[in-house]
Structure 1
Amino acid sequence: MNLQGIVAVSGKPGLWRALAQNKTGYVLESLDAQKTKLVANLSTAKLAALSEITIFGTEDDIRLTDVFEQMKSASKVPDAKADGKTLRAFFYEVAPEHDEEKVYASDMKKIISWFHLLKELPLFDEVDPTQAPAPEAPVAEVVAAEPELVAEAPKAKAKKAPAKKA
């Protein structure tokens, strides 16, 4: 899944696609049906790239993209407005190592609502360019090259020392 350029803006609902950057911030477009445009000022708004977000885990943090991959293969994803027990049971299915004390019901609701926004978009099925394996380069044949003649550069003339006047 390719989540490059998808951000969450603090204080704004939904997800946004970064379209351009100017000297004061970013020009964003909402991923919902309205396609609202927004200029997020870097000095006042906090942006979080979805590809960089992690969830608290019991041992290590869990990448949000890994949770989305598990949610993709889950049999049924609950609605974001479901009760906390239903959400917690679902999260144990898709992220069994999440920290129950640090991951709140509001966090789970937000992640599930993001999933429902993203699952219909084509970028959700694209391969992440940062995670894609590099294509194997064909093995080049070794050809014995003939030695090249190297022309010597002309030597610079030595400067004469100025003559001393007697």
Structure 2
Amino acid sequence: MSLEKILAISGKPGLYELKAQTRTGFVAESLADGKRLTVNMRNNVSVLSEIAIYTTTEEVPLKDIFKNIQEKENGGQAINHKESKAKLESYFGEVLPNYDEERVYPSDIKKVIQWYNILQNKGITDFSVDQEVKSEEEE
């Protein structure tokens, strides 16, 4: 499963998989507990493949950051997202050394690490660029 089907819904914890489009929105399934919910168009929804993190020179796609975490942890889990602010920032600095400390907040770092661990638990571990290019060609 690619990051193009994984959603972050504002006001809802965790990540969701896009299951179906409806007339007024779509149906999403929680990656945490498998519960389905209907999301209308008024909700603020982000597709993980569209999210990027600011660095001092450019914006880095989330999939690249996930890949960096995966390489750092040899395919395992990242640190717990509930660690101290200093520990999270230090860890994130190792994963993305030139991230923009003024525009990337500790809450953003927590989300990225939490999302990585959720995807890792669900076995969604292919963050390679080739996977995304292949899916774009199939469309």
TM-score band, normalised by shorter chain: 0.7 to 0.9
Task: Name the counterpart of 1:125.
Answer: 126
Query: Which residue of structure 2 lines up, in the alignment, with residue 142 of structure 1?
Result: none
CA shift digits 1:17-57 (9 cap, x unpaired): 0000011001000001x211111000x20110001100111
Choose between structure 1 and 2: higher strand proportion.
2
Over the aligned positions, Cα root-mean-square deviation in angstroms equals: 2.1
* CA positional deviation for 1:98: 0.8
Using a 3 Å threshold, how does the CA distance of structure 1 residues 10 and 74 change in structure 2: closer, same or farther? same
**Superposition TM-score, scaled by structure 1 size:** 0.73
For residues 62 and 94 of structure 2, the distance between their equivalents in structure 1, rounded to whole angstroms, comes to: 14
Unaligned runs of 5+ in 2: none
Residue 97 of structure 1 deviates from its aligned partner by 1.8
Cα 1:132–1:93 shift into 2, 3 Å: farther
Q: Which amino acid aligns with 2:39?
A: A
CA distance in 2, matches of 1:80, 1:114: 9
Contact kept in structure 1, 2:66 and 2:127, CA below 8 Å: no
Aligned to 2:2: 2
Structure-2 separation of matches of 1:48 and 1:126: 17
User: Counterparts of 2:118 and 2:82 in 1: how far apart (Å)?
Assistant: 14
**1:39 matched to which residue of 2?**
38
- Tell me if structure 2 keeps the 8 A contact 1:9–1:47: yes
Q: 2:94 matched to which residue of 1? A: 93
Q: Does 1:70 align with 2:64?
A: no
Q: Which amino acid aligns with 1:26?
A: F
Displacement of 1:124 after TM fit?
Answer: 1.9
Distance change in 2, residues 1:68/1:10 (3 Å)? same
The Cα of 1:132 is off from its aligned counterpart by 4.0
**TM-score, normalized by length of structure 2?**
0.86
The 1:11/1:101 distance shift into structure 2, 3 A limit, reads same
Count of residues paired in the alignment: 132
Q: Which amino acid aligns with 2:46?
A: A
On the 8 A contact 1:3/1:124 being kept in 2, the answer is no
Distance in 2 of aligned mates of 1:31 and 1:83 = 25
Deviation at 1:126, TM superposition (A): 7.1
Deviations 1:117-138 (A, max 9, x none): 00122332376643349xxxxx
CA change 1:82–1:126 in 2 (3 A) is: closer
State the percentage of identical aligned residues: 37
Which structure has the highest helix share of the two?
2
Answer whether contact 1:77 1:90 (CA < 8 A) is retained.
Answer: no
Q: Is 1:23 paired with 2:20?
A: no
Instruction: Give 1:7 shift.
Output: 0.5
